[in-house]
Amino acid sequence: MPELAGLGRYTGPATLILSSLAGGAKHGYALTKDVEQFSGVRLSPGTLYAALSRLVDQKLIEPIPSEDDRRRPYRITAIGSAALQSQLSEQRRVADVGLRRLKGLVTP
Amino acid sequence: MTSVTDRSAAWLARLYPAQWRRDFPDFVEVLTEELPGRPLRVVADVVVSSTVERFRSAGMLPTRPADRSRAGLAVVAAALLPFAALSMGMWSQLHTGLAAQGPGAPASLKWTVAILAVAMAVGLATASAGVVAFALRCLWSRPSLPRAAAPNSSTVRPAVAFCVSIGALSLTGWLADRSGWYSPAAAGLPHHGAAQLPTLWIRGIVATITPAWVHPTVFGQMPPGDLLATLAAPIATLVATASLVRLVRRLPAAPSRRVEEGFAIGAVGTMTLAVGACTRWLLTHPGRQGALPRLANHDPLAPGHTGWLVVMALAMLTALAAIGLRWVLERGSPWSATDG
């Protein structure tokens, strides 16, 4: 099972990209806009394409044929879906623990 | 008509390798959209990312496990080349006591010729064995030979870049040599005949690790030829190293696991021994160095000591080769039962 944590500093951008592609195939510009819309994070082009390049290398996403030579859309692969599921479940577990502990925190 | 932003985006995209630009054709479009809003952040991000991509495309930062072994081998080879040139200079100097002897001095000449002869003999023997092994392998697998062994643009380009950068390194070495500025590591090497070529490489590489980086005032004292070599040689050395890494990664020949791992282990072992021997010599022979007296060179532990600078450079190259060795060995022991 591939793990997004292996992508080092690109783990965060990779999670956002995979989450965006889970909603359907997109090219670079559409990805930037979608990620900004649902997360409030605006990925810089250098970071976005560095993460895309690594995701393609790891076969977590794949380019799909397009009639427009200037734009290359990507879609999430089955391995990518499994990696995203694992990453988000882990993030949810951490978030749940944090929220539960915050609830029990006694404020002065 | 194209706007300033379009031109800037196109220029920034050129920082990436050509293949990367072909893989991501819409990068310029995204860049054009993002540049006007936050130019400094975007430019800094692109410069860092493109530099990383350049290293990745040269095989020095592989991400796929399948690439790591060949990349490791390439890193070992790239570290070995400057190491061989530098250590030859260093050893000839150690044998003459790091004294300011001219190339014609009998002790310098004797040790230099001996070391060069051994190094060239080992190099020639290794290269010959490699050629014979490759030829035999091609004979045994003849049906796949023409396609697999044919040179193509992916190997020709790095080969040309390597030759050009070595030419540039030789030129900078020649300029530095003619400048008359003393070079401790190259002083004992031959300055006549065919053996002059490695001397020029050593002169160029040594210009890269000049004490001037530690004592910047030395830059002002340098003759123009040596100053030019000091500034240009690092670039030529880097390009030569990157080209060699690319070339090794793309070579059609695929040596067996035992050969690859044996080469990597042997190279790193030899380099470690050489560094250890040089270090031991410097520690047991303090205060004999008289190359640049004003730079506290009489104290072998002083930061600007030329001998230590060379040893540090050799140690860094060894560390780089050790990283390559780790990548080569990651796929398992060469003597394991699963070896194929």
Q: Go through chain A and tell me how many residues it has.
A: 108
Q: Is B289 helix (H, G, I), strand (E, B) or coil?
A: coil
| Token pair for B106 | 């009998």
Answer yes or no: do A29 and B29 touch at CB < 8 A: yes
- Ranges A42-56, B71-85, B122-136, B228-242, most confident: A42-56
Tell me the pTM: 0.49
Q: Are B172 and B194 in contact (CB under 8 A)?
A: no
What is the domain partition of chain A in residue ranges?
4-103
B49 with A46: Cβ contact below 8 A: yes
| Residue matched to tokens 């023997």 | B125
User: Residue A68 CA to chain centroid, in angstroms?
Assistant: 24
- Decide yes or no: CATH 3.40.1360.10 for domain A4-103: no
B31 is written with which tokens?
A: 């860049």
CA distance B11 to B325: 37
What residues have CB less than 8 Å from A54, skipping those under 6 apart? A7, A10, A14, B63
What the block records as the tokens of A32 is 């930037």
Q: CA nearest A29 in B: which residue? A: B30
Instruction: For residue B330, count other CB atoms closer than 10 A to its CB.
Output: 11
Tell me the chain B residues in contact with residue A72 when contact means C-beta distances shorter than 8 Å: 23-26
Name the token pair of B70.
């060949």
Determine the 3-state secondary structure of A76 from DSSP.
strand
- Going by pLDDT thresholds of 50, 70 and 90, the confidence category of residue B118 is low
Identify the CA nearest to B61 among candidates B330, B327, B268.
B327
* pLDDT confidence of residue B222: 77
Residues in chain A within 8 Å Cβ distance of B45? 44-47
In chain A, which among 67-86 make CB contacts under 8 A with chain B?
A: 69-72
**A42-51, B144-153, B198-207: which is most confident:** A42-51
Q: B-chain residues within 8 Å CB-CB of A27?
A: 26
Contact A58 B27 (CB under 8 A): no
Give the pLDDT band (50/70/90) at residue B242: confident
Does any CB of chain A come closer than 8 Å to the CB of residue B52?
yes
| Pairwise CA distance, residues A42 & A34, whole Å | 9
Cite the beta strand spans of B49-176 per DSSP E: none
Burial of B130: CB neighbours in 10 Å, binned 0-12, 13-18, 19+: middle
- What pLDDT digit, counting tens, does each position of B6-57 carry? 778 888 888 888 888 888 888 888 888 888 777 788 888 888 888 888 877 7
Alpha-carbon span A57 to B161, nearest angstrom: 27
Neighbours of B123 (CB within 10 A): 11
- Cβ of A47 under 8 Å from any chain B Cβ? yes
ipTM surpasses cut 0.90: no
The reported pLDDT for the residue numbered B229 is: 80
Domain residue ranges in chain B: 4-45, 62-329
Nearest to B326 by CA among B59, B72, B55: B72
Bridge partners (DSSP) of residue A74 are A26, A63
Q: What is the DSSP string of B158-210?
A: HHHHHHHHHHHHHHHHHHHHHHT---TTTTTS--SSTTHHHHHHHHHHHHHT-
Torsion angle, alpha carbons of B324, B328, B332, B335, to 10: -110
**Residues in chain A closer than 8 A to B42 (CB atoms):** 44-46
Determine, for residues B26 and A44 on separate chains, whether the beta-carbon distance falls below 8 Å. Answer: no
DSSP H or E segment with residue A61: strand A61-63
Where is A62: in which H helix or E strand? Answer: strand A61-63
Q: Which residue of B has its CA nearest to A62?
A: B23
How far apart are alpha carbons B177 and B288 in whole angstroms? 24
Q: Which of A9, A41, A44 to mutate to test the interface with B (most CBs of B within 10 A)?
A: A44
Q: How many Å apart are CA A44 and CA A51, to the nearest integer?
A: 11
The amino acid sitting at B196 is Q
Query: What integer is the mean pLDDT of B208-235?
Result: 76
pLDDT of A68 strictly over 80 = no
Dump pLDDT digits (tens) for A25-47: 998 889 999 999 999 998 888 89
Q: Which of B20, B25, B31 sits opposite A45 (nearest CB)?
A: B31
DSSP state of A105: P
CA–CA separation, B47 vs B52, rounded Å?
A: 9
